[in-house]
A and B are shown apart, each in its own frame.
Chain A
Amino acid sequence: MSFQPVKFYQTGTFTVGNRLLAPEERSVQASAKRFNSINSGHRACQGCGEALGARYAIDAAMEATDGQLVAANATGCLEVFSTPYPETSWQIPWIHSLFGNTAAVATGIAAAIKVKRKKGEQTQDVRVVAQGGDGGTTDIGFGCLSGMFERNDDVLYICYDNQGYMNTGVQRSSATPPAARTATTMAVGPEPGNVFGQGKFVPAIALAHDVPYVATATVADLRDLEAKVRRAMEIRGARYIHILVPCPLGWGTASQETIHMARLAKETGIFPVFEAEHGEITSVLPIRRQMPVEDYLKPQKRYAHLFGKQPNVTVIARLQAMADRNIKRYGLLGQGER
């Protein structure tokens, strides 16, 4: 890979990407050193944001723990596409129990490891990751997640948020944004799509638990994601990383648009990217060039009902207001450090 020493973003452009970094800092997809924790050959859709997010998150965790990692996985796309019997994509010890208990299963694994270490039966310091989609995290698994948080169990929980139950055919979850069409919030009637005034942003709830580490990330900034996973693995106790992973199927976007969509989510402010330790936000990934939410909404078929012959300016303005609120609340137009 060639190295471009000129830092384009210093020249007034908004170019982004690997080539702006020194070789040792670059994110590398194909490398003999990569763990390939989730290996090729799985059955994710083309352009799956979750597969990409999991690949980078788990490989970064593997790197940080020198390969001493165990993963618990919630029911959902990631589980189904990675382990259709008798195949598995996982090159790490991996367990799928149920949809709603992943955080608790991870707690159990961590407890077992702690005892085995204490007894001297296990010499290696094995770490535990739990992972699930937004349904398995913000809805059905939320009780177990909150329990794991408040007990400060030594688990990194990673939520791959594609804003709906995509595995069962795109139904609404508590992470589905307002106005989005899903199979249970159809784009019909006087207020098409998901309603306003509902839903929850679990990273903020994680913050309220005062756990040692909370971060959000998107698959548009894989370097940022990897750094956050590495940071999380430096810390003991309950940690949470919430990754926005666009879903071509559920969002109605082209396969090649996944990273672009994630970037627009961040650049519009609709999805704030930040990092927090012990309940306090320590840094945000600043918006580099603010975009209007239309740019993010328009390519997605789940919002198509907002862009007919007569664009629904009222609803678009409400979504813009949500982005503006995030920008203000998290200081997304600032320098990043707080």
Chain B
Amino acid sequence: MLKQIEGSRAVAEAVALCRPEVICAYPISPQTHIVEALGEMVKEETLTDCEYINVESEFAAMSVAIGASAAGARSYTATASQGLLFMVEAVYNASGLGLPIVMTVANRAIGAPINIWNDHSDSLSQRDCGWIQLFAETNQEALDLHIQAFKLAEELSMPVMVCMDGFILTHAYERVDMPTQEQVDAYLPPYEPRQVLDPNEPVSIGAMVGPEAFTEVRYLAHAKQMQALERIPQLATEFNSVFGRDSGGLIHTYRTEDADTIVIAMGSVLGTIKDTVDAMRLPENGGHRIGVLGITSYRPFPLAAVADALKNCKRFVVLEKSLAVGIGGIVATDVRMAVTGMGLKGFTVVAGLGGRAITVKSLTALFEKAMRENLDLVTFLDLDWKAVNKQLEREKARRRTGPVAEALLRDVGVVGARNY
């Protein structure tokens, strides 16, 4: 059924169609609308047989989900940014215990400085936590990925994060095709746990493991993600057969067949990049042979699929909404591993941090430079060099320069910042 609704509402309705049994809610922007909507559905009893728990922190949210999942319930929560960091110990624990919890991460920057807007710093900081991470490009894909996520998580006994850009997707009203309960029931069977806390068959979950078996337990987690690499495209195909839509999978390619230059990205920015590429391919704009590779499955990282998508190009640009401080790109590092030995020229572009708009104008100029291979290995898109240099000069000149954030806000002319 076609609906014109907010991204968060679409995700909430999709999660409800998956018949979750325990939902843990703790507010944090820009995820909050999702759990608000679910809370309303439980309270008005349109979502039944579901316990909705208002917890006291994200750490508790994930911990309640751990307990519920270990007791055999389909468990869901949503978070973002600081909330994800606050629950990190439990995030690792959930995957270590092999509990198929599904969590939405409404991607948002991490402070300090505190910033509520979108980038990918939060979930990418959990790169190695053992969760599968799927990135949605559109609200439709966000909705669809949640349905696939429960199936994937429960088949593999492994938790899945569905990552969607905060505000850009969560708060955007767009048309989505909402599946029916019958379709979702046909696709997603009831949860059959591998391990469950049952007095009739008592087990000890979470025992201490020393050097004698720890490596094996960790390897098995890796092996499961390798299985997920095979299972994710199959699940997308199965999804297509039930819902009649292409959604999910490991990667999406766009106009890459003849491309000399391929731009790689994750999430909603792919739309802007595709528009830019379409324009640059027009004869009147030079008819550039440029294409796009969207990565949907960030963990497990599809090394082979990425290498295959890049096999005919000459160079690639990884445009990422994240920064590995001290080296540059996070996604770019993985892409470089995928193309080892292929002799490609690769560029890392850090863009859109803390919600900075990524414009077609900036991208066009950037890609033109990349095509001329006239780009630094690591580039910060639209960086205000004046403000940066001013601060660096200030710090050279005197010791007590005050808080960096305040100084920069003053330099870029934000009203209310105090003068020194």
Write the residues of chain A forming the contact surface with B, with a CB cutoff of 8 angstroms.
Answer: 67-70, 72-73, 79-80, 83-86, 88, 90-98, 100-101, 104-116, 118-119, 124, 126, 143-144, 146-147, 150-151
Choice from B72, B97, B207 contacting A112 with Cβ under 8 Å? B72
With contact pairs A105-B63, A111-B73, A115-B51 given, residues A94 and B208 touching in the complex (Cβ less than 8 Å)? no
Q: A93-B198, A101-B90 are in contact. Are A112 and B73 (CB under 8 A)?
A: yes
User: Quick one: which of B199, B206, B213 contacts A126, CB cutoff 8 A?
Assistant: B199
Q: Which of B53-61, B264-272, B276-284 contacts A (4 or more CB under 8 A)?
A: B53-61
* Chain A residues within 8 Å of B199, by CB: 67-70, 92-93, 124, 126
B63 touches A83 (CB 8 A): no
Interface residues on B, range: 35 or more
Chain A contacts of B416 at CB under 8 A?
Answer: none
Asked whether B210 lies within 8 Å of A144 as measured between CB atoms, the reply is no
CB distance A144 to B63 under 8 Å?
yes
Q: Chain A residues near B200: list those with CB within 8 A.
A: 124
- Closest CB of chain A to B100's CB: distance in Å? 13
Q: Which residue of A lies closest to B207 (CB)?
A: A83
C-alpha spacing A111/B50, complex, angstroms: 9
Contact between chains at A143 and B72 (CB < 8 Å): no
- Known contacts A111-B64, A116-B73, A144-B60; A86/B51 CB under 8 A: no
Residue in B56, B62, B68, B208 whose CB lies within 8 Å of A80: B208
B22 at the interface (CB under 8 A from A): yes
**Chain A residues closer than 8 Å to B208, beta-carbon distance:** 79-80, 83-85, 96
Shortest Cβ gap from A293 to chain B (Å):
37
Q: Are A109 and B55 in contact (CB under 8 A)?
A: no
In contact, B205 and A146 (Cβ under 8 angstroms):
no
Residues of B with Cβ closer than 8 Å to A? Answer: 21-22, 24, 49-51, 53-57, 59-60, 62-73, 75, 89-90, 93, 97, 197-210, 212-213
**Residues from chain B with Cβ under 8 Å of A95 in the complex:** 67, 70, 197, 204-206
* Chain A positions within 8 Å of B93 at CB level: 97-98, 101
Within the complex, the shortest CB–CB distance from A147 to chain B, in Å, comes to 3
A-B contact pairs, 17 of them (CB 8 A): A93-B201, A93-B203, A93-B205, A96-B205, A104-B60, A104-B67, A105-B63, A107-B64, A108-B53, A108-B73, A109-B68, A111-B51, A113-B71, A118-B49, A143-B57, A144-B56, A147-B56
The reply to whether B207 and A147 contact each other, CB–CB distance below 8 Å, is no
Contact partners of A69 in chain B: CB under 8 A:
199
Q: Is the CB–CB distance between B197 and A70 below 8 Å? A: yes
Interface contact A144-B59, CB-CB below 8 Å: yes
